[in-house]
Amino acid sequence: MAGIAALVSKVVEGHHHDRDMLIQVLLDLQSGLGWLPREALVEVSRQLRVPVTRVYQVASYYKAFSFAPKGRHTIKVCLGTACHVRGAGRVVEKMETDLGIKRTETTPDLKYTLETVNCVGCCALGPMVMIDGKYHGQISSDKVSPLLAEHE
């Protein structure tokens, strides 16, 4: 807890204890921790003098925030219309099988987090998969295992 409290103090001080900077404080904390543990949210509430319910409300509203640890590699599979009609559903199913997790989950070894998104803006190249921000186009279920092997 002392480590989290110290990090929260540093981030809150960096934003001059300004309550209006709650979202940025949470973003900075998540950047430092990789996720937002309960202790961090309670400490933000205490240090910014904002009700803990408000901190949770903001953190749960935005999809950018995570209440669970994320994997070292974040995989995002596009399920937008163009990708969907080209087989993105099968790509996600193959990812789930290979990784042993469902979408929105993280592998027990914290290596991978699997997410789905509505569009990555590369419709002509679908199905699209992003791994750690790098785009991979025209992915089919038979290309999933080799793609994952590149990130081991």
* Tens-place pLDDT, residues 100-147: 999 999 999 999 999 999 999 999 999 999 999 999 999 999 999 999
User: What pLDDT, on a 0 to 100 scale, did the predictor assign at position 64?
Assistant: 85
Q: How much is the pTM?
A: 0.76
End-to-end CA, the chain: 32
CATH topology of domain 73-149: Glutaredoxin (3.40.30)
Total residue length of the chain = 152
The domain spans of the chain are 2-61, 73-149
Averaged pLDDT, 47-56: 97
Average pLDDT, the chain: 95
Distance CA 150, CA 152 (A): 6
Distance CA 49, CA 19 (A): 8
Can you read off the two tokens belonging to residue 127?
């199905």
Averaged pLDDT, 81-94: 97
Asked if 126 and 82 count as a contact pair (C-beta separation under 8 A), the reply is yes
Give the strand order in the sheet containing 129-131: 112-117, 73-78, 129-131, 134-136
Tell me the three state secondary structure of residue 98. helix
Distance CA 103, CA 22 (A): 28
The H-or-E segment that residue 135 falls in is strand 134-136
Q: Which of 71, 72, 90 is nearest to 129 (CA)?
A: 90
